Amino acid sequence: MLSTIRDLLKYDKRFTFGFSVMSLMIFLAILSYFSPYDPKVWNIVPRDMPPSLKHLLGTTSMGQDVFWLATFAIRNSLFLSLIAVFISRIIAIFLGLITGYKGGALDRTLMTINDSFVILPLLPILILIASVIKGSLNIRNLGILLGIFGWAWDARVLRSQILSLREREFTYTARLSGMRTLSIILKEYLPFIMPLIMATAMNNMLWVIGMEVTLAILGLSSLEIPTLGTMIHWSVNSQSLLLGIWWWILTPVFICILLFISLYMLSVSISEFLDPRTRLQRIEVMKG
Amino acid sequence: MLFFKSYLLPRIIQYLVVIFIGTTVVFVVPRFMPTDPVQKTLELVALQGTYIDPEAVEKLRETLKELYGLKGTLFEQYIVFWKRLFRGDFGPSFAQFPTPVMDLIKISLPWTTVLLLFTTLLSWIIGNILGGLAGYFSHQRWARVLEGIAMVIRPVPYYIVALGLLIIFAFAFPIFPVGGGLSVGRELHLTFDLFVDIAKHAFLPALSLVLVGSSVWFMTMRLLISNILREDYVLYAQTGGISDREIVFQYAIRNALLPQITGLALSLGQIFSGALITEQVFAYPGLGTLLYNSVSRGDYNLLMGITLLSIIGIATGVLIIDLIYPLFDPRIRYR
């Protein structure tokens, strides 16, 4: 695992980019623990100040420091996505392994249900649910909600990987030497699909953060908790663009874009690393 | 017959399962929530300050229960729910009482349908052709530039792209209107001017959808093509001296399109969600804006109507794509 990361850092620029941006984000998130201001209190600093040495990224119309608010927003958004990713990974891995390995009628049934979840327009459903439980939609509950709905596509991806692993020779060797199904899956397959799980997890994180932004903009999450979404919500709602307070709205938007691109690049470079065909192609490019 | 059994039947079952699961989720979830919509509405009424005597409150409670379909046991409610769905009756809107939800949806639906059909097809075509070319000529400089652009746009959600376009083209350089579907006060007469006006208002929403959409198709197509290039038949065609142009369009893209058609069907739900968000940013008078308004006014019936209708709409779209798929793939047609 560590050597994989080292190789990727060395040879893949996209991975280097994604890795350094993510490290920066995590650093900022940790920095929020040392913030001089409470993110929930308004009017502790002068309002609508442009970026200066005292307030690195200016202040908002509610009298909050944009830089320190952003550190809280990053922390909460990352935390939220980790909860959701963790839950959806459990469901996706379980379903993917079971359907891929067992096959037959069970596979067909579960995959029909799975495909239905892939096709379903999740946004209206999430909006419906969120508007019903609006009051209790804190970071944890939103994470659980997004986790419950975000597994379908990844279960499909994992299943197809298991399908191809099942036909490999080591599966027969393991089975003939009397290994049980569960230990074949855990000991033989899991190491193989670990990077794929990582890649899908990055993609899922991206989806979760994007979904949080979307729901917050519609005013459906707890708006007093600073996240990237609620930051955008408040700045859009206070007409920061029309008033020319660009530092307020551009900060969360830029952080979002950076975060999305870096997560995507991490995911792409990990999954390309897995695919021997694309790896060969890249080596050819590097040679030629 | 085999075609029906092995191809059509699973598709139709899938269609029914999607609608069944979606409808059941929409039915079940609100009923397991800690908050009671009836109680909430009553509280809202009470908040308005006017005195209502307890009997009227009880009556209101009964009517609300009826409206929400909350009468009887859970199973009875479920049956009633389906019955109403079959009649296309989603009840009256709360915010614009007593206009039926269906009527409100009927006004917005054409706007969304036209925008979505147009942008989906356009971005699918642009993304696939550019992706195919960039995948085939992957060593060229322009292919790398295109890939870089697509790679940056692809992961960014629709909302951010739409907001960015709005900032650039409506505030910084006011070329396009800030929002809406028509200029204020314009009447619906079928003239050329009207068409131009609609197109001008729809341009930015459409642009944001096409930008994100085509980058998604671009990236997958490029990957598909780079795998196909390693196939023997492409090598054979190249050694046989067939022109690059013919290989790209007749050999590579044509084969890579098949998974892309399936991909189109599977991603319809995502595209639809993206359209809703884009509409809200540009205040485009479609389902997205209606959805946003229903959220901010707490119009639960309208929200449920839009959700159910979108589930049925998406499922039908997927079924249609699946049904015309054999036209593109001879292996299925002649089996």
The pLDDT tens digits of the residues spanning B291-311 come to 888 887 777 788 888 888 888
For residue A287, what pLDDT is reported? 52
Side chain identity at residue A162, one-letter code: I
Most distant CA atoms of chain B, gap in Å: 90
**Do the chains contact at B307 and A217, CB–CB below 8 Å?**
no
A136–chain B Cβ distance below 8 A for any pair: yes
Q: Does residue A11 form part of some domain?
A: no
Q: Say which of B13, B26, B306 has its CB closest to residue A112.
A: B13
Q: Does residue A41 form part of some domain?
A: no
Q: Around Cβ B150, how many Cβ atoms within 10 Å?
A: 23
The answer on pLDDT for B129 being more than 90 is: yes
B152–chain A Cβ distance below 8 A for any pair: yes
CB within 8 Å of chain A, chain B residues 257-316:
265-266, 268-270, 272-273, 276-277, 280, 291-292, 295-296, 298, 300, 303-304, 306-307, 310-311, 314-315
Q: Does residue A3 form part of some domain?
A: no
For residue A288, what pLDDT is reported? 44
Highest mean pLDDT among B63-67, B77-81, B216-220, B271-275: B216-220
User: Interface pTM (ipTM) of the complex?
Assistant: 0.81
User: How many contacts, defined by CB atoms under 8 Å, are there between A and B?
Assistant: 144
Strand partners, A59: A65
Torsions phi, psi of A70, nearest 5?
-65, -35
Q: What is the CATH number of the domain that holds A244?
A: 1.10.3720.10
Residue B108 and residue B290 in contact, taking contact as beta carbons nearer than 8 Å: yes
Q: Does residue A31 form part of some domain?
A: yes
Where is A113: in which H helix or E strand?
helix A104-119
Q: Does residue A9 form part of some domain?
A: no
Number of domains in chain A: 1
Q: Does residue A121 form part of some domain?
A: yes
Contacts by A11-14 with C-beta closer than 8 Å and gap 24+?
A11/A282, A11/A286, A12/A269, A12/A272, A12/A273, A14/A265, A14/A266, A14/A268, A14/A269, A14/B151
Q: Which domain holds residue A275?
A: 26-36+55-286
Q: For the segment B17-72, what is each residue's pLDDT rounded down to a tens digit?
A: 999 998 888 888 777 666 666 776 677 667 766 666 777 777 777 777 776 667 77
A122–chain B Cβ distance below 8 A for any pair: yes
Residue of A nearest to B222 (CA): A278
Q: Does residue A239 form part of some domain?
A: yes
Q: Does residue A190 form part of some domain?
A: yes
For residue B145, what pLDDT is reported? 93
Q: d(Cα A87, Cα A149) in Å, to the nearest integer?
A: 10
Residue B281 and residue B171 in contact, taking contact as beta carbons nearer than 8 Å: no
**Do the chains contact at B14 and A124, CB–CB below 8 Å?**
no
pLDDT tier for residue A284 given thresholds of 50, 70 and 90: low
